[in-house]
Structure 1
Amino acid sequence: LICKHADIFPDDLLPGLLPKRDHDHKIQLEPGAQPTVRTQWRLTQPELDELRRQLDYLLEKGFDRPSTSLFAAPILFTPKKDGGLRMCIDYRALNRVTIKSRYPIPRADELIDQLRGAKFFSKIDLRGGYHHIRVNEADCYKTAFRTRYGSYEYTVMPFGLTNAPSTFQLTMNEIFRPLLDKCVIVYLDDILIYSTTREAHLRDLEAVFALLQQHRLITKVSLEFLGHVISIDGVKIDPKKIATIQDWKPPANLRERQSFLGFVNYVRRFIPNMTEVTSPLTDLLKKDTFYEWGGEQQAAFDQLKLFLTTPLALHIADPHRPFELITDASDLAVGAVLLQDFGKGLQPIAYESRKLNPAERNYPVHDKELLAIVHAFKVWRCYLTGADVTFRTDHKSLQFIRTQPTLNP
């Protein structure tokens, strides 16, 4: 198949602009907005060398051109995993005066749920993803950036523009619409093909490659998807991320705490009682809270790292099987785990928890336990509505909830 469609697997992006698509990227500014100008920072010699190399590359490909625009964004460089430098344009000033798109980006958990029953997977990354889409000719001047070698503007969509993800998702959805929810899910420039048999997978790959070829999308073959590894056994956190977690040092400032907790929140479905475990850390994010990293914070940090580095596979929910819901409540939070039996005993689908607000902390134990059930049904409504569900709680009085003639509001 790859040999048959070799033209979609080149070693590099082809020179020249790719074809105009139904949706070029447009940059609509708020009424009265003026050109945004930011001062360029001084660069190190290695950064200047890389700047020259990347400018030559972009000009050779036709992806940018010299500009006389009144807009001027600064450039900066960030390190790559391989030790190289990535050139970035700081479009924050432009983004502040750009009218924001309302086009939705898919939820990662909804996409992963579509993979139930699949046994064969292939993932495709688009090479130079955003550069497959042109900037609307009337808006190119707004992308201008300033260097010591002059000003340049993009002819293709660069990273850093506030509406670029929405434009890209819109384009991908339009291209792959015939296959979405059948054998393909798309998240920005990640394309995942899934099938139940090898024969079906080859047919599905053929259909995807044909669409890629038709729309001149250049790809690289890689199976990690959205920070997860997908297999017939379920969903796991990507081992590369686990290695990063193992080396994570205790956060020393607000930004580092936010970064760590942001990652923890992204994989919260893997962590039992996450809210209660993270409480000593999230309390440090409160305004006017004195920062003190003590034994309680270190214990929470270590426990979270242990959860995230201990291999745990979550199974993908099967709507045709009964669910079992186990809930619990404490003085601080409510939590739940959703399970199903796939023939080898109950297996976890997801974990959920949230902190109680001040009013809820005053609830009697009965009401807190009931709140845990209500919260779980709200969070997992997409699974549990109309399904066969057994819920378990360690509070005996709740067994009468279905026979009680009246309930307090």
Structure 2
Amino acid sequence: MHELEKVDSGPDSKIPRDFPGRPTIGTSAKPTRRPSHRAGTRRTTDSTSTISAQPTGTRRIAAAVRLPPDEGIYLTQHVPIRRPHIVHAEKDGGFRMCIDYRALNRITIKSRGYHQIRGAVEDCHKTAFRTRYGSYEYLVMPFGLTNVPSTFQMTMNDIFRELLDKCVIIYLDDILIYSRSREQHLRDLDAVFTLLHKNRLITKGSKCDFLKQELEFLGHVVSTEGVKIDPKKIKTIQEWKPLTNLKELQGFQGFVNYVRRFIPNIARLSAPLTDRLKDHNCFWWGEKQQAAFDQLKIALTSPPVLRISDPDRPYEVVTNASDIAIGAVLLLDFDDGLQPVAYESRKLQGAQKNYTVHDKEMLAIVHAFKTWRCYLTGADVTVRTDHKSLQYLRAQPNLNPRQIRWLDFLESNFHYTITYKRGANNIADALTRPTAHTAAILVAQTNPLLTGLFTHSYKIDPFFRSAIHQPPPDLILISAGV
């Protein structure tokens, strides 16, 4: 491993020169750390054939497997179990060996995570794979085993437990360090690197970024302004071709659900598409589906920036319900006013469409609290609804069993106050009201100019002019000239 001073000597280093700590960053020998990872199986595994590699991949495989056993992650063995492998290129120009462990995963006894990283000696032979240079097995946890993610996540949580949600967020091998000032950030970096050094964990310098105002993390862009969708994903949406089968529709809907917190009216916009998912035997694409697809692409390519949650500020939840959907907005009161943290909406299912207006509006509140439970538990929350009777929910004398269950959930888990806000001023109203329904209401209103035009036309039309002067009995009724 290289000391910080050595890593920081080049002009292209990403580590701040005024960093006070002493972290180690490098790529040398893998240390023996913590308990061993077990790959317990129900029966013996079978061997499979190898996969031909391209010349570039062959050179990389040779470089990896020819490392001395105490510096690499492989150990030459003559074992009956062998797996095919491929080489996967990474963003920084490096590579990763990917072994086909599907057969082993099918018979592995699933676990919920252990505090272990290194492979158990008695299980190393199960990870064996075969190359043109011989057969090898892993000494540490390889990429692709079924229990490895949970094992690694539990290990990282155990190591960084004292910093989690204070200045560190960890997802597997991605570590995000956040601070309110540069000085505090340097102290937080020192604490993180101290734990890495203490537990002999190695970081890869080419994958590290320091002192950034904006960076990519788990498919999102996190900045001082808030969280937004990764621009690369927006480009993918723009280039998304029309859907031709059910599998493509499922893939598109999966992406829509992944970014649903960014889109205010996602349930209403995607309703024609989700309806198509119900029929697993037939794929049908009409004008409504194409219109919904186009509207979703527009909405997804111009998403708002969501503010990062701050538990020290008061939360506000605005909810609404319609005949087809429920929706909510999670807001925080910042210095520049209320700002959105997340949006949520979904279609009403089955019998829910037959609920009374009161129950639909109450369901919207319950769904919002279930969705944002991680934010709202223990916080003082103001709920705003356009259904006036809900502000007296706690004093309502006669509750049906469903309402009792909902009220018990709210009362036993949250501190909240329900207030009334007219629908015209309700930000969540747009999450549930289809544009077509609103347009139909507007068209149904009578235009006085149109009525006058009808009256004038009756007077000059030969048939109606005579009918008005001598109307046939019981066939025509004339009122106000119409």
User: What TM-score range do you get, normalising by the shorter chain?
Assistant: 0.7 to 0.9
Find the residue that maps to 1:177 and give its secondary structure.
Answer: coil
Give the whole-Å Cα distance in 2 for the aligned partners of 1:21 and 1:228.
32
Tell me which residue corresponds to 1:348: 340
User: Relative to 1, partners in 2 of residues 1:225 and 1:359: Cα closer, same or farther, differing over 3 Å?
Assistant: same
Q: Once the 2 structures are TM-superposed, how far is the Cα of residue 52 of structure 1 from its aligned partner? A: 4.2
Tell me which residue corresponds to 1:177: 161
Tell me if structure 2 keeps the 8 A contact 1:23–1:171. no
Tell me if structure 2 keeps the 8 A contact 1:234–1:314. yes
Q: Once the 2 structures are TM-superposed, how far is the Cα of residue 97 of structure 1 from its aligned partner? A: 0.8
Tell me which residue corresponds to 1:332: 324
Give the whole-Å Cα distance in 1 for the aligned partners of 2:257 and 2:274.
11
User: Percent of aligned positions with the same letter in both sequences?
Assistant: 61
Give the whole-Å Cα distance in 2 for the aligned partners of 1:148 and 1:287.
48
Give the whole-Å Cα distance in 2 for the aligned partners of 1:349 and 1:261.
22
Residue of 138, 144, 158 corresponding to 1:160 = 144
In structure 2, give the amino acid aligned to 1:71. I
Residue of 24, 39, 46 corresponding to 1:8 = 24
Residue of 378, 385, 408 corresponding to 2:370 = 378
Instruction: Please list every run of 5 or more consecutive structure 2 residues that lacks an aligned counterpart in the other structure.
Output: 9-22, 210-214, 402-482
CA deviation vs aligned residue, 1:117-173 (integer Å, no higher than 9, x gap) = xxxxxxxxxxxxxxx943222211111223455432222222111111112112222
Give the whole-Å Cα distance in 1 for the aligned partners of 2:295 and 2:369.
27
Residue of 16, 21, 24 corresponding to 2:33 = 21
In structure 2, give the amino acid aligned to 1:161. L
Residue of 24, 45, 59 corresponding to 2:66 = 59
Q: Once the 2 structures are TM-superposed, how far is the Cα of residue 98 of structure 1 from its aligned partner? A: 0.8
In structure 2, give the amino acid aligned to 1:156. V
In structure 2, give the amino acid aligned to 1:9. I
User: Relative to 1, partners in 2 of residues 1:386 and 1:192: Cα closer, same or farther, differing over 3 Å?
Assistant: closer
Residue of 347, 359, 366 corresponding to 1:367 = 359
Residue of 296, 300, 312 corresponding to 1:304 = 296
Q: Which moved more, 1:76-85 or 1:311-320?
A: 76-85
Q: Once the 2 structures are TM-superposed, how far is the Cα of residue 335 of structure 1 from its aligned partner? A: 1.5
Tell me if structure 2 keeps the 8 A contact 1:51–1:87. no
Tell me if structure 2 keeps the 8 A contact 1:280–1:297. yes
Find the residue that maps to 1:339 and give its secondary structure.
Answer: strand
Find the residue that maps to 1:371 and give its secondary structure.
Answer: helix
Give the whole-Å Cα distance in 2 for the aligned partners of 1:377 and 1:166.
28
Structure 2-normalised TM-score? Answer: 0.69
Q: Once the 2 structures are TM-superposed, how far is the Cα of residue 21 of structure 1 from its aligned partner? A: 1.0
In structure 1, give the amino acid aligned to 2:168. V
Tell me which residue corresponds to 2:125: 141
Tell me if structure 1 keeps the 8 A contact 2:262–2:303. no
Give the whole-Å Cα distance in 1 for the aligned partners of 2:234 and 2:264.
17
In structure 1, give the amino acid aligned to 2:295. Q
Q: Which moved more, 1:228-237 or 1:183-192?
A: 228-237
Higher relative contact order (CA 8 A, sep 6+): 1
Find the residue that maps to 1:334 and give its secondary structure.
Answer: strand
CA deviation vs aligned residue, 1:44-81 (integer Å, no higher than 9, x gap) = 6xx35413422432432522233332223223466766
Q: Once the 2 structures are TM-superposed, how far is the Cα of residue 337 of structure 1 from its aligned partner? A: 0.9
In structure 2, give the amino acid aligned to 1:308. L
Give the whole-Å Cα distance in 2 for the aligned partners of 1:281 and 1:82.
38
Residue of 208, 216, 240 corresponding to 2:232 = 240
Give the whole-Å Cα distance in 2 for the aligned partners of 1:79 and 1:302.
34
Q: Once the 2 structures are TM-superposed, how far is the Cα of residue 255 of structure 1 from its aligned partner? A: 4.0
Structure 1-normalised TM-score? Answer: 0.81
Tell me if structure 2 keeps the 8 A contact 1:23–1:167. no
In structure 1, give the amino acid aligned to 2:285. W
Find the residue that maps to 1:230 and give its secondary structure.
Answer: strand
Number of aligned residue pairs:
374
Find the residue that maps to 2:118 and give its secondary structure.
Answer: coil
In structure 1, give the amino acid aligned to 2:347. K
Residue of 101, 110, 127 corresponding to 1:100 = 110
Give the whole-Å Cα distance in 1 for the aligned partners of 2:239 and 2:317.
34
Give the whole-Å Cα distance in 2 for the aligned partners of 1:51 and 1:4.
32
Give the whole-Å Cα distance in 2 for the aligned partners of 1:332 and 1:311.
23
Q: Once the 2 structures are TM-superposed, how far is the Cα of residue 349 of structure 1 from its aligned partner? A: 1.2
Find the residue that maps to 2:178 and give its secondary structure.
Answer: strand
Tell me which residue corresponds to 1:127: none
Instruction: Please list every run of 5 or more consecutive structure 1 residues that lacks an aligned counterpart in the other structure.
Output: 106-131
Tell me which residue corresponds to 1:37: 47
Give the whole-Å Cα distance in 2 for the aligned partners of 1:302 and 1:249.
10
Give the whole-Å Cα distance in 2 for the aligned partners of 1:254 and 1:137.
46
Find the residue that maps to 1:102 and give its secondary structure.
Answer: coil
Q: Larger radius of gyration, structure 1 or 2?
A: 2
Q: Once the 2 structures are TM-superposed, how far is the Cα of residue 178 of structure 1 from its aligned partner? A: 3.3
Tell me if structure 1 keeps the 8 A contact 2:45–2:103. no
Is the counterpart of residue 194 in structure 1 residue 178 in structure 2? yes
Tell me if structure 2 keeps the 8 A contact 1:273–1:336. no
Give the whole-Å Cα distance in 2 for the aligned partners of 1:198 and 1:238.
25
Tell me if structure 1 keeps the 8 A contact 2:114–2:151. no
Give the whole-Å Cα distance in 1 for the aligned partners of 2:300 and 2:197.
40
Give the whole-Å Cα distance in 1 for the aligned partners of 2:242 and 2:91.
21
Give the whole-Å Cα distance in 2 for the aligned partners of 1:244 and 1:81.
18
In structure 1, give the amino acid aligned to 2:368. A
Q: Once the 2 structures are TM-superposed, how far is the Cα of residue 4 of structure 1 from its aligned partner? A: 7.4
User: Relative to 1, partners in 2 of residues 1:209 and 1:85: Cα closer, same or farther, differing over 3 Å?
Assistant: closer
Give the whole-Å Cα distance in 2 for the aligned partners of 1:240 and 1:345.
30
Tell me if structure 1 keeps the 8 A contact 2:318–2:330. yes
Find the residue that maps to 1:178 and give its secondary structure.
Answer: coil
Find the residue that maps to 2:332 and give its secondary structure.
Answer: strand
Tell me which residue corresponds to 2:252: 260
Tell me which residue corresponds to 2:418: none
Q: Once the 2 structures are TM-superposed, how far is the Cα of residue 338 of structure 1 from its aligned partner? A: 1.0
Find the residue that maps to 2:249 and give its secondary structure.
Answer: helix
Q: Once the 2 structures are TM-superposed, how far is the Cα of residue 287 of structure 1 from its aligned partner? A: 5.2
In structure 1, give the amino acid aligned to 2:334. F
Give the whole-Å Cα distance in 1 for the aligned partners of 2:292 and 2:76.
53
